[in-house]
Amino acid sequence: MLDKILILDFGSQTTQLIARRVRDLGVYCEVVPYRSIPEDFSDIKGVILSGSPYSIHDPRSFRIDVQALIDRGLPILAICYGAQLITGELGGTVEQTGLHEYGRTHLSIGSEGAKDPLLRGLSEGTTVWMSHSDSITVLPEGFEVLATTENIPIAVFRSKAAPVWGVQFHPEAHHSEQGSRLLGNFIDICGLEHDWTPASFIDTTVAELREQLGEDKVILALSGGVDSSVCATLLHRAIGDRLYCIFVNHGLLRKGEFDEVMSLYKGLGLNVKGIDAVDYFYSQLDGVSDPEQKRKIIGKGFIDVFAAEAHKLKDVKWLAQGTIYPDVIESLSITGTTIKSHHNVGGLPEDLKFSLVEPLRKLFKDEVRKVGEELGMPHEMVYRQPFPGPGLAIRILGDITPEKVRILQEADHIFISRLREAGLYNEVWQAGAILLPVHSVGVMGDERTYDQVIALRAVTSVDAMSADWAHLPYDFLARVSSEIINTVDGVNRCVYDISSKPPSTIEWE
């Protein structure tokens, strides 16, 4: 088993960020809801308690048996709410003192703190990021203060008898200048090596897949995106041509994308079958304008086509999915209630009766890309921008027709191509063109036109949970607009979307 740090999630918005920071330091960790503490701790070398949206005084707050966890003898790092929970459960005092702290403040490290392994190497006065309304005013018996801030007397503390630390600030936050150093110190306290890398992940996972799958066959639906592509490449390294890949063309991909991606897949040596289902999808979408209905039709269409192909294969026992770690975390709330199902091939008919294999379920998106690079996959595939599963169907507002798809494919191709040529493609998280359900008056030559409108959308983001509109150069936008209007038949106006998420979404539908 892989040695790891366990992160107990009490509902903080930054719990995933804690995991990302630990992973960035070369150590494997897993996030579990606070009420799902495993019985087997044989591979757990340390525990981190996250923050929470609740005060420990709130009757809705989440609780665990703190003493039982401490009695396991493992190093514990409690962050914000976690620190307050330990304090309150062990007989200390947490009060609403009116000394709230939000945002940046400076850490004053005491004499005991300067000698403590958790704060080793941290500078006096280093900036840390606070977000709390309660304050710890009295520590439990047997605990001592290691650091303070201007407003609170207990910013970092530890137990004198056990390897337990509490910090009132958020070391995982970007604004905590030396937060990664503190987390690295905790990793060292846990006795873990900083050696969890893409290469080590590949070696370990390939060995596990060979043992899990034996001589069995596996089927995988490819989307052209990075997750399913890396999943396929990793499985291919493990089992070769016993992996059967299916790539469906629903006619709503970008211009030339089906042939381009098929060529990339074959260049990787994948056993992939391309299915031309354009006419089927167009017939199903005929006259449909509602965006949710379009999504459902396309989702069901994928399932129907995939199921038909799967039934043609003999003795296939496994279905592979490109599920990644955020899918796993988001699929269960901290109360154990499903809040978001996996977005991959979910919903396949039960009569397919496959067992599920998800080789990327331990990885975040950026880690998936690093694994793809280590596997030698083409850069343009590993760093392909996100593209919605329903494709251009949700970038054509209104009903779908082959002519509308043609117009949007041409406009989108110009936009994306010019982003690449200008060196801007990798500067934005996601970009694309949208065909609006309106016509506008224009003049071309001496003739009046009444043609369609294209909206260009480009955003910057880290994880797509929030996004800002990309501030592309005006001269670049002018050139793209001019080229689209002058070369794409049926378009006489081009606009740029300057909406952020929230309140807007990245996609228009």
CB atoms within 10 A of CB 473: 10
For residue 497 the two structure tokens come to 């979307």
Name which of 291, 49, 259, 299 is nearest 170 in CA terms.
Answer: 49
Residue type, 58: D
DSSP track, 441-488: EEEETTEEEEEEEEEEEEEE-SSSSSBEE----HHHHHHHHHHHHHHS
Express the helix, strand and coil content of the chain in percent, nearest 5 each.
35, 25, 40
Catalytic member of 29, 30, 170, 494? 170
**Helix (H/G/I), strand (E/B), else coil: 374:** helix
Whose tokens are 């048996």? That residue is: 65
Name which of 509, 250, 286, 281 is nearest 394 in CA terms.
Answer: 509
**What distance in Å separates the CA atoms of residue 268 and residue 52, rounded to the nearest whole number?**
44
Those residues with Cβ within 8 angstroms of residue 347's Cβ, 6 or more apart along the chain or in another chain: 299, 303
Counting beta carbons within 10 angstroms of the beta carbon of residue 192, is it exposed (0 to 12), middle (13 to 18) or buried (19 or more)?
buried
Handedness of CA 416, 417, 422, 424 (dihedral sign): positive
Assess contact for 407 and 492: CB atoms under 8 A. no
**What distance in Å separates the CA atoms of residue 14 and residue 429, rounded to the nearest whole number?**
21
Residue type, 7: I
Q: Is 170 a catalytic residue?
A: yes
Give, as one character, the DSSP assignment of residue 427: G
Handedness of CA 163, 166, 171, 176 (dihedral sign): negative
Catalytic member of 29, 30, 80, 509? 80
Torsion of CA 125, 130, 135, 139, to 10 degrees: -60
Residue type, 306: F
What phi, psi does 102 have (nearest 5°)?
A: -135, 130
**What distance in Å separates the CA atoms of residue 81 and residue 34, rounded to the nearest whole number?**
12
Q: Is 367 a catalytic residue?
A: no
Cα R_g (the chain), whole angstroms: 26
Residue type, 118: L
Residue type, 434: I
Q: Is 342 a catalytic residue?
A: no
Catalytic member of 172, 367, 374, 509? 172
**Helix (H/G/I), strand (E/B), else coil: 127:** strand
What phi, psi does 454 have (nearest 5°)?
A: -105, 130
**What distance in Å separates the CA atoms of residue 432 and residue 396, rounded to the nearest whole number?**
11
Catalytic residue numbers, as ranges:
80, 170, 172
